[in-house]
Amino acid sequence: MTGYVRTALFLAALTALFLAIGFMLGGEGGMLIAFALALAMNLFAYWNSDKMVLSMYGAREVDHRSEPALFGIVEQLARRAALPMPRIYVVDSDQPNAFATGRDPEHAAVAATTGLLRSLSAEEIAGVMAHELAHVKNRDTLIMTITATIAGAIGMLANFAMLFGASRGDERGGSPLGMVGTILIMILAPIGAMLVQMAISRSREYDADRIGAAIAGKPLWLAAALEKLHYAAKRIDNPAAEANPTTAHLFIVNPLHAHAVDGLFSTHPSIENRMRRLRAMAGVAGPWG
C-alpha cells in the first residue's frame, strides 16, 4: 500500500507543478489552459500509447504457433496472476530487454526482445515476464503513460515561456514573473518534472519486482535475469530506445547507454538494490548484500 500512496503523492506533485507553471505564466487563464492541455494529452495517450510504443519498436505480435515457448510461459503466468491473457510481442533487438504496455489488464501487451529470448533460460524468461505482468496487474503502464504525458506537457509549457512569456511582458498580459522568472521556469520546470517522473518509475519497478517474484514463485529467477540483462544492456545498443529516450522507463532494465549517472537521474533503481530485495525474499544473502 505504501508504494501506491507514494505514487499518488508523486503524481499529485507533478500535476500541481504543471498547473502552477500555467498559473505563473498566464494567471488563472493560463492555469485553465494548462489543465485543458493536460486533459487532452492524457486522453490521447490513454487510447493510443500502446499502439505508438509497439510501432516505435517495430514489435510483431506472436502466438502459440510462432513462439510456443514464450506463449506458454506467459499463459501460465497470467493464469497464476488471475489476469486476462495479454497480447505477446517480440522486438527484433540484440539487447535483451522487455516491457509492458496497454491502458488496463484487458488491453495489455507484453514484449520481449529477440536478444532476451536467446540469452535467458526458460526460468529467467518466466521471471522477466512475471515482472511485466506485475506492471499490468498494478496498472503501472497507465500510471507511467500519464506521468510521461504530464512531464512532456511541462516541457511544452517551458518552451511556451521561452517563446512568448518574456517577450510579451507584464504590461501586455504575458508572464507575471518577468524575464528572470521566465528563464527560471524554462530551466527548472523540466528538471523538476523529470525528477518526479523518475521517482515514480523507480517506485513502480520495486513493486513490480516484488509482485512479479510472487507470481513466478521463484524470486531468484528474476534476480538472475536482472543481473544478465543489466550487464548486457551496458554492452549492446538499442538504437530505437536511444532515439526515443522518453520510453526508457518502460523497460525492465534501462536500455540507454547514457545511464552511467545513476541516482536521481535514473529511470530505474540500482540493480544492486533490486537484486538485494529479491534475494531477501528468497532468503539468500548472495553477492549483492
Cα-based torsion angle of the residue sequence 134, 147, 231, 219 in order, rounded to the nearest 10 degrees: -20
Residue with cell 501506491: 4
Contact yes or no for 276/288 (Cβ under 8 A) = yes
Question: Domain boundaries in the chain?
Answer: 2-282
CA distance 88 to 120: 17
pLDDT at 248: 84
pLDDT tens profile 149-188 = 777 777 777 676 666 554 454 444 445 555 666 666 666 7
CA distance 10 to 4: 10
Mean pLDDT of the chain: 82
Q: Which is it for the CA torsion 98, 104, 105, 107, positive or negative?
A: negative
Verify whether residue 242 is a known catalytic residue: no
Q: Kindly name the residue from 124, 132, 205, 227 that is annotated as catalytic.
A: 132
**pLDDT: which is higher, 66 or 162:** 66
E strand residue ranges, the chain: 60-62, 87-91, 98-101, 109-113
pLDDT at 103: 85
pLDDT at 22: 77
DSSP secondary structure of 127-163: HHHHHHHHHHHTTHHHHHHHHHHHHHHHHHHHHHIII
pLDDT at 47: 82
